[in-house]
Amino acid sequence: MPEFIIRVGTPDGEIVERHVQASTSRVAEEELRRQGLHIFETKRGAMSLRDFLPRSRKVVTTERFLLFNQELLALVRAGLPILQSFDIMLERQKDANFKEVLTDLRDQLKNGIALSDAFASYGDAFPPIYSTSLRAGERSGDLEGVLKRFLRYQKIIVNLRKRVVSALIYPVILIVMSIAMIFIMITKVIPKFADFFAGFDKQLPPFTRFMIWFATALNNNILIVLGVGIVGFIAFRRWITSSTGRIAWDTFKLKIPLAGGVLHRFAIMQFTQSLGTLLGGGTPMVPAIEIASQSVTNQLVSQRIFGIVQNVREGEPLWRSLEETKVMSDLAVEMIKVGEATGGLTEMLGNVSEFYDEEIEARLQRIVASIEPLILVLMGIVIGVLLYAFYLPLFELSGAGSGQ
């Protein structure tokens, strides 16, 4: 996990440096702010090779965490104490990593630490919304209701991600096959044609000569090309892990034709669903907005929404603050405005989330329906151009031979 070096001011007036490991600089800063420290400057710590490799910050998969909460809800509903519930789940847990985490959580509970604080001690290994929801349930005495709302939230997010992945499987397969076929033709087929044409004393068409030159250069410098590609990939990953790079990349993704609209709606759905879950569990408005903004994966949308916290704290209506961010749709703002005016904000946030859930699915179907034939057409055009470039000289040679 990346390390950040942060200059902070302590309540005693001292200025010190803290080394914090976190997924992003904002997560690290928020952790120190919760400790009562004032942030002056944040710098990225030393980078290691592990920072560039694919990794998961989670100690448990989303599906397994969903199953855990379903079991916990069933045991709480049956009237069992939390500590006994953890003992029962530990006996049935087969995942070694998660079992180790559950053991540590149980030990913390035995030492008198609250369930919400025990999960919060793992930082961003678990969703921030989870520990906050548990804390609200502990204060209100309605842990069962909080778990129900969180499960509903988690199921919506998991089901949507599954639908997105399922919709993209076939287009991705087509794209990979197209790239593989073009690579094989350039590196294997074209050199054989070049050797064949070398035996004829005839000037080849310009496009054919260009394709032979390109294929020869690629084959002769394949290691250099791969090296440049790897270096470029590492540089790109480093850039998008920086605060400015991540925001620039997420801004670009929102502008991608077709896909940008889906990503924008997904960000709105994440925020409204998270905020509704937190408010429904009894979390106050301001901390609910802070946590809900962190649940948004798009950093541009997340940062804009996080910026309204001070306005809401000063008494500005939520709908007006969200409207000023320019990242919330007019429909979402209007529905939130109605919810605030009628006192049914939590229910209205759920309606916004459900609406965009259905809207995302409909848009995905339209995108997939349009992109599949487009990929096939592009693949056919590319292959057709390659074939034309190397069969045209054959036709010319055969025409010349028959003319003699």
DSSP string covering 281-346: TT--HHHHHHHHHHT-S-HHHHHHHHTTHHHHHTT--HHHHHHHHS-S-HHHHHHHHHHHHHT-HH
Same domain, yes or no, for 274 and 218? yes
Same domain, yes or no, for 363 and 395? yes
- Mean residue pLDDT of the chain comes to 81
Angstrom distance (rounded) from CA 79 to CA 230: 55
Angstrom distance (rounded) from CA 260 to CA 246: 16
Structural domain includes residue 304: yes
Structural domain includes residue 161: no
Q: Give 88's contacts (C-beta < 8 A, 6+ positions apart).
A: 75, 80
Task: Report whether pLDDT(401) > 90.
Answer: no
CATH number at residue 26: 3.10.20
Structural domain includes residue 129: yes
Average pLDDT over residues 198-212: 75
Angstrom distance (rounded) from CA 191 to CA 49: 37
Give 327-353 pLDDT, tens digit per residue. 999 999 999 999 999 988 988 998 998
Same domain, yes or no, for 23 and 119? no
Domain final residue, candidates 114, 129, 154: 154
Structural domain includes residue 200: yes
DSSP 8-state class, residue 48: -
Q: Which of 30-34, 35-39, 263-267 has the lowest mean pLDDT?
A: 30-34
Same domain, yes or no, for 146 and 179? no
Domain final residue, candidates 130, 154, 178: 154
Same domain, yes or no, for 310 and 361? yes
The pTM of the whole model exceeds 0.85: no
Domain final residue, candidates 154, 186, 209: 154
Q: Is 317 left (phi over 0), alpha (psi -120 to 50) or beta?
A: beta
Give 45-92 pLDDT, tens digit per residue. 655 444 443 444 455 777 888 888 889 889 988 888 888 888 888 888
Structural domain includes residue 57: no
Which of 113, 110, 108, 121 lies closest to 138 in space, CA to CA? 113
Same domain, yes or no, for 106 and 178? no
DSSP 8-state class, residue 114: -
State the total domains in the chain.
Answer: 3
DSSP 8-state class, residue 95: -
Q: Is 79 left (phi over 0), alpha (psi -120 to 50) or beta?
A: left
Same domain, yes or no, for 14 and 80? no
**What pLDDT was estimated at residue 46?**
56
- First-to-last alpha carbon distance for the chain, in angstroms, is 73
Same domain, yes or no, for 86 and 225? no
**What pLDDT was estimated at residue 27?**
63
Structural domain includes residue 119: yes
Structural domain includes residue 295: yes
Q: Check if the beta carbon of residue 154 is closer than 8 Å to that of residue 270.
A: no
Domain that includes residue 343, residue range: 167-404
Same domain, yes or no, for 150 and 186? no
Same domain, yes or no, for 244 and 387? yes
Same domain, yes or no, for 84 and 173? no
Same domain, yes or no, for 147 and 274? no
Average pLDDT over residues 203-211: 78
CATH number at residue 138: 1.20.81.30
Higher-scoring residue by pLDDT: 184, 2: 184
Structural domain includes residue 284: yes
Task: Report whether pLDDT(119) > 80.
Answer: yes
Q: Please report where in the chains the tokens 């028959």 appear, as a residue.
A: 402
